Chains A and B, each alone.
Chain A
Amino acid sequence: DSGVTQTPKHLITATGQRVTLRCSPRSGDLSVYWYQQSLDQGLQFLIQYYNGEERAKGNILERFSAQQFPDLHSELNLSSLELGDSALYFCASSVPGGAVNTGELFFGEGSRLTVL
C-alpha cells in the first residue's frame, strides 16, 4: 500500500460528459502529480501541484483541469470527454514537508476511465 488513495477505481461515461477524479496523497506529501496511461501513449505526465499551487504542466489538454486543495488532496477534472480519453489515470505524490525532492514518486492504484 503506497498510501496514495484514488477514487473512483472505475468510471464509465459517455462522450461529451464531464468527470472528476480524486486523489489523496500520502500523509505529509506536498506534491501531487497526475499521469495518464494508455496503450498507445504509455505513461504521460499531465500536471503537478505543490502545496496548493500549480508547479508544472505536461501534455494536459485544455479540456482537462486540476487543482490541489488546502488539505492537499487533488482533483482532476475531465470535460467534453472523447473516446480517446479512455485510459488509466494515476495520481502520485512525493516530497514530505521539508524533505529534498529526489524524484521518487508514490503512485495510487489508478482510476480507469472508459468513455463510450
Chain B
Amino acid sequence: GNSVTQMEGPVTLSEEAFLTINCTYTATGYPSLFWYVQYPGEGLQLLLKATKADDKGSNKGFEATYRKETTSFHLEKGSVQVSDSAVYFCALSVEGGSYIPTFGRGTSLIVHP
C-alpha cells in the first residue's frame, strides 16, 4: 500500500533559522508528491508539489525535491519567519485509485522571534 512518514514534531526554531522537515514514502506505482500547510484554525492548503523524479517544487521560499532513489521529498526553507508557524503535511497520490491522497501525520513548526 501507500504510506508517508514524516519526522515527528514539534520543530521549534528561531526566526531566520534553516528548516528541514523530512518526508519519506512508499508507493505502489509512480506517485505525485505534495506538501500541504495548515495554519491555526484553517484547512489544509497546497504549498508545493512535484510530479516526477528530480522535479523541484517551490513556493513562498519553501522547496522540496522529488528523490526517487531515496523515496524522499524533504521540505526546506533557508530562513523561516514567525508567520511560517503551522503544521506541515507531506502527501502522495498515485494515478488510478481515484487519486486519493495519502497524508503523513503532520509536523508542527513553531518559530520564535
- A residues near B (Cβ < 8 Å) are 2, 4, 31, 33, 42-43, 45, 48, 50, 55-56, 58, 90, 92, 94, 101-110
Give Cα A106–Cα B101 distance, bound, in whole angstroms: 12
Determine if B34 and A4 form an interchain contact, defined as CB atoms under 8 angstroms apart. Answer: no
Give Cα A110–Cα B43 distance, bound, in whole angstroms: 6
Q: A42-B106, A43-B89 are in contact. Are A58 and B45 (CB under 8 A)?
A: no
B44 to A, closest residue via Cβ: A107
Q: Shortest CB–CB separation between residue A38 and chain B, in angstroms?
A: 11
A94 to B, closest residue via Cβ: B99
Determine if B43 and A102 form an interchain contact, defined as CB atoms under 8 angstroms apart. Answer: no
Q: Which of B32, B42, B98, B101 contacts A55 (CB 8 A)?
A: B98
Determine if B49 and A104 form an interchain contact, defined as CB atoms under 8 angstroms apart. Answer: yes
Classify the interface of chain A: helix, strand, loop or mixed: strand
Determine if B34 and A108 form an interchain contact, defined as CB atoms under 8 angstroms apart. Answer: no
Residues of chain A within 8 A (CB-CB) of B113 are: none
Q: A33-B100, A42-B105, A48-B100 are in contact. Are A103 and B43 (CB under 8 A)?
A: no
The contact sample of 10 A-B pairs, CB cut-off 8 A, is A2-B43, A42-B106, A43-B44, A43-B105, A43-B106, A58-B100, A90-B43, A101-B98, A101-B99, A105-B44
